[in-house]
Amino acid sequence: MTKKLKKIDSRLAGLIKKEIERQKFTIDLIPSEAIAPNEVLEVLGSPLINKYSEGGIGRRYYPGNKYIDKIEDLAKKRAKEVFGLGKNWEVNVQLLSGTPANLAVYFGLCNPRDKIMGMSLFSGGHLSHGHPVSLSGKIFNSVTYNSGEDGYLDFDHIEKIAKKYKPKIIISGFSAYPRKVNFRKFYQIAKKVNAYHMADISHIAGLVAAGVHPSPFRYADIVTTTCHKTLNGPRAAIIFYRKELTGKIDKAVFPGIQGGPHNNKVAAIALSLKIAKTAAFKNTMKQIVRNARALAEELRKYGFNLITNGTDTHLMLVDLRNKNISGGDAEKMLEKAGILVNRNSIFIDRKPYNPSGIRPGTVSVSFRKMKEKEMRKIANWIADIIDKKRNPTEVRKEVVELCKKFPLPY
Ligand SMILES: Cc1ncc(COP(=O)(O)O)c(C=O)c1O
């Protein structure tokens, strides 16, 4: 925090300082949150934010975009490199976030009221995959599939729904699915009903980039991703699309649903993709999965039921029904101890506000360099608080000590 900011707006500077302190001394198990490096923060706070550059490279609606063009080109090239893509793929890096990225795909490929098909929110899909409260469900005719009762994707069921409704787009990719996704099966079903297959890899993009999770690119027509989850970059998103869709997607992004791109974000995407190619990033992705497995195994030892009994990824879904506590109450109790875990629906739920599960993940703690030993300690605290009703404020002191040993970079 600069002295100047404190002088101009001491109230705001104080609140930012408090939020940074909160981050430093809490264990963040929210699987969609990461710890963007200081250099990414530096680029986000750069004067690139001052520039308007509606349009694309070499065809802007404003002058003065010589360097912005080069920065956007760098981001696009790196996006393709990180995921090993050749000439048959194009990329748009102007998306402000994941929800507009998904909307741009629907607007680019569908007409209003056309059918899109994604996983229901209660089974682990995202709001932007056609939920009725989202524009994706208000403008398009949304049909949903569920996970099987064992928590795994049920491809017979998915095929049945696809054949019944013949959607224009079938969406794979989820917010709360703990297992590897078989993108080939989605592709095969999509081809049978002449649908596009869109894979939303927002949660797992970093794992895919590091080769820790199977890549969807061979089996998808469009791939969307946020940049701020496992990819550990700015709050922004990318759309990859097959070359034959050129025109449709870019036009849907601008002028369809967005105005000028946020050039600071585009540049921060370029930087985070460079970092994603390093050995250090790949090692962190591997550790994220090892940590998730360790946390899952330890939670199971304490009698917690996990959907699919475990995880292959960065997150797990804990079914709390046998612990006689709701996801919302567990979230509140753990927050008092400085352990952030978000409540999450499991397949029997129909009310997202106070569902029966929680969704711990290991992204942030792994970027903090915690390992399996710390995961076992965290599981022990979760069990102490939820099962043994240990006073969370007592646990809080121990949490602060652990956080001090694994400092944040800022
Ligand atoms: C699978 C998936 N897609 C899209 C999004 C939307 O991202 P954003 O919050 O950036 O709009 C999320 C957010 O959590 C997500 O989990």
Model confidence over 278-301: pLDDT tens digits? 999 999 999 999 999 999 999 999
Q: Is 387 designated active site?
A: no
The span from the CA of 179 to the CA of 71, in Å, is 36
How do residues 180-216 score in pLDDT, each as one tens digit? 999 999 999 999 999 999 999 999 999 999 999 999 9
Residue 401 has a pLDDT of 98
The verdict on residue 230 lying in a domain is yes
Q: Tell whether 79 and 194 lie within a shared domain.
A: yes
Residues with CB under 6 A from ligand 1: 32, 97-99, 126, 128, 173-175, 200, 202-203, 226
Q: Tell whether 346 and 207 lie within a shared domain.
A: no
DSSP-based three-state secondary structure for 275: helix
Q: State the average pLDDT over residues 148-171.
A: 97
Q: Which of 225, 250, 276 is the last residue before a domain boundary?
A: 276
Q: Which domain holds residue 385?
A: 279-405
Q: Tell whether 255 and 347 lie within a shared domain.
A: no
Domain count, the chain: 2
How do residues 160-184 score in pLDDT, each as one tens digit? 999 999 999 999 999 999 999 999 9
Annotated catalytic residue: which of 24, 52, 73, 152? Answer: 52
The verdict on residue 30 lying in a domain is no
Q: Is 302 designated active site?
A: no
The verdict on residue 367 lying in a domain is yes
DSSP-based three-state secondary structure for 50: helix
The verdict on residue 410 lying in a domain is no
Q: Which of 261, 276, 291 is the last residue before a domain boundary?
A: 276
Q: Tell whether 72 and 103 lie within a shared domain.
A: yes
Annotated catalytic residue: which of 60, 76, 168, 229? Answer: 229
Using CA positions, which residue lies closest to atom 6 of ligand 1?
A: 98
Q: Which atom of ligand 1 is nearest to the CA of 235?
A: 10
Residue 352 has a pLDDT of 67
How do residues 213-233 score in pLDDT, each as one tens digit? 999 999 999 999 999 999 999
Q: Which long-range contacts (CB under 8 A, 24 or more apart) does 302-307 make?
A: 302/379, 302/380, 302/382, 302/383, 302/387, 303/383, 303/387, 304/382, 304/383, 306/178, 307/151, 307/178, 307/346, 307/347, 307/357
Q: Is 184 designated active site?
A: no
Using CA positions, which residue lies closest to atom 8 of ligand 1?
A: 98
Confidence of residue 353 (pLDDT cuts 50, 70, 90): confident
Q: Which of 276, 291, 307 is the last residue before a domain boundary?
A: 276
Q: Is 235 designated active site?
A: yes
The verdict on residue 20 lying in a domain is no
The verdict on residue 62 lying in a domain is yes
The verdict on residue 129 lying in a domain is yes
